[in-house]
Amino acid sequence: MSVAYEAARDAVLSLSDEVGLVERLARAHDVLATVDPVAHLPENLRFRCEELVADLSYGADSVHAALSRMSGADRHRLSERIVALFAEVARAFPGDL
C-alpha cells in the first residue's frame, strides 16, 4: 500500500473519532504531514496536499492554535478537503483499494 494512500485514508478515519473537530483535524494534519509530496504523490496532487497541510496550521505556532482560531465553517471546509484529497489519492493509486 502506498504511503500517500495510507496517510490520506488515516486522515479521513481521524475525522470520524468522537473528539471535537479541532482535535480530529489536528490528527489529520499530523498524518498528512508525514507525506513527502515529491516522493509519495503524483505531480498533479502535490500542491493540493502541501496546501492542505499548510492551511491546517495557517498563521499560528501550533496546529491546535490555528484550528481553534478558525471559524466552524472554515474547519468544516478543511474536513471536506481532506475527504476530497483521499478520493483523489484513491483514484491515483487504485491498486491500494
Q: Which residue has the cell 509530496?
A: 37
pLDDT number for residue 8: 96
Ordered by start, the domain boundaries in the chain are 3-91
pLDDT number for residue 1: 66
Q: Model confidence over 79-91: pLDDT tens digits?
A: 999 999 999 999 9
Radius of gyration of the chain (CA): 13
pLDDT number for residue 61: 87
pLDDT number for residue 94: 84
The ranges of the chain with pLDDT < 50 are none
Residue by residue, DSSP assigns 15-51 as: TTSSS-HHHHHHHHHHHHTT--HHHHS-HHHHHHHHH
Q: Which three cell numbers stand for residue 38?
A: 515529491
pLDDT number for residue 59: 83
Q: Is the distance from CB of 79 to CB of 67 less than 8 angstroms?
A: no
38: amino acid identity, one letter: V
